[in-house]
Amino acid sequence: MTPPLQPVLVMPVYRGGAKFARALASVRGAEQYFRRIVISLNSPKGSPDEDTVAAYLAEGPSKVEVIQSGTELPWMPHQYFWLRHLEETGEGADTWVYWFAHDDALRPSGMSRIVDADGNWPLRRGDIYLGPWGMRYDEIDALYDGPTETDLQSWTSFPLAGPLELPVAEWIAQQLEQPTYINMSGCITSMSSFQALRDFPIAKPGGMRIEMATAAAPGNLRVVEFPEPVVITYTSKGSDRTQYAKVARKDDRHMVAWLANYVARHPSAAIPTARATVKVGTDYLKVLARRGSLPAEDWRFRENVGP
């Protein structure tokens, strides 16, 4: 009997604490939707996060596997740490990976309506799946403590009028022209996306712009949004990622080279890329001339969905 088409869930964890405990607790009701579940602890031995995993595994049978770096790695080296583990344990370029942040929660109700009766996810080669995201708000120094049975806002990075899929270069161009809320958490893409980033001659310095960078891997043709969220992301009211610009400068320089690599392999991507370049350049000139400001991040609400 052919096993169902399911992704491998990977959860990178860095000083996870209570947020990691919340994220891991959400895995229990969703294990059936994943072929493997890999928890990658970015920590030295003796980390409190080890106890969180041990408590979870003590509750009963589980698909969860745990790997540990043994030291605290920077963001991208930790990415490549778990990637190497997947390669060494039999996974290849065509393996689907569900990337899950340690401070979010899985949404099994959404998965149950997307996965078919045989357990197959509707995944198509050449696609990377990003969003939508079910949203809840953490306090600045505390976890969300409201009711969990209430509806969630569903946020999208796509135009509200549709479509739900765009060519990679067009989706990135729209993000550069008018940034929206985006989050790597809940992303499903082939393992080749992460391998291509790792093997590119110019190293990516950090985790900023990771959604666009992962989408621009040469094997991806389309960015696709699921019909409803398969992840709940926790954010803080008032945060705006466009304010991270100074931190992201090195990643921006990498992104220029990475997009040029994509255009070289997909010449049709040149048109939206050039359009976005003109728009971004014009915006910066207005800022320098004190005649305008950069566009604020658009928190694009699509609809309310159940928990």
Q: Distance between CA 28 and CA 20 in Å, rounded?
A: 13
Parallel/antiparallel/unpaired status of strands 152-155 and 133-137: antiparallel
Could you give the residue ranges of the DSSP H alpha helices within 7-121? 17-27, 48-58, 75-88, 108-114
Q: Quick one: tokens of 210?
A: 């990771």
Q: Which residue has the higher pLDDT, 247 or 305?
A: 305
Per-residue pLDDT tens over the stretch 24-41: 999 999 999 999 999 999
Please state the rounded mean pLDDT for residues 82-93.
98
Query: Which residues are CB-contacts of 272 (< 8 A; sequence separation ≥ 6)?
Result: 167, 169, 170, 172, 173
Q: Distance between CA 28 and CA 59 in Å, rounded?
A: 10
Q: Distance between CA 262 and CA 276 in Å, rounded?
A: 15
pLDDT band, residue 244 (cuts 50/70/90): low
Please state the rounded mean pLDDT for residues 56-85.
98
pLDDT exceeds 80 at position 240:
no
pLDDT of residue 287: 86
Q: Which residue has the higher pLDDT, 1 or 277?
A: 277
Sole residue written with tokens 């969703």: 30
Strand order in the sheet with 187-190: 64-68, 36-41, 8-13, 96-99, 187-190, 127-129, 222-224, 165-167
What count of other Cβ atoms lies within 10 Å of the Cβ of residue 4?
A: 15
pLDDT of residue 290: 87
CA angle 13, 27, 5 (to 5 degrees): 105
Percent of the chain's residues with pLDDT above 70: 96
Question: Is 147 within 8 Å of 306 (Cβ atoms)?
Answer: no
pLDDT band, residue 237 (cuts 50/70/90): low
pLDDT band, residue 83 (cuts 50/70/90): very high
Q: Quick one: tokens of 15?
A: 């000083």
Q: Is the dihedral of CA 251, 86, 224, 238 positive or negative?
A: negative
φ, ψ of residue 104 to 5 degrees: the values are -115, -165
Query: Which residues are CB-contacts of 258 (< 8 A; sequence separation ≥ 6)?
Result: 197, 200, 202, 204, 213, 216
Q: Distance between CA 23 and CA 56 in Å, rounded?
A: 11
pLDDT of residue 292: 86
Amino acid at 16: G
Q: How far apart are the first and last CA of the chain?
A: 33
pLDDT of residue 141: 82
Per-residue pLDDT tens over the stretch 166-180: 999 999 999 999 999
Q: Distance between CA 300 and CA 39 in Å, rounded?
A: 31
Report pTM. 0.95
pLDDT exceeds 80 at position 249:
no
CA angle 188, 215, 34 (to 5 degrees): 10
pLDDT of residue 242: 54
Query: What domains can you pick out in the chain, each with its CATH number?
Result: 8-292+301-305 (3.90.550.10)
Count of positions (residues) in the chain:
307
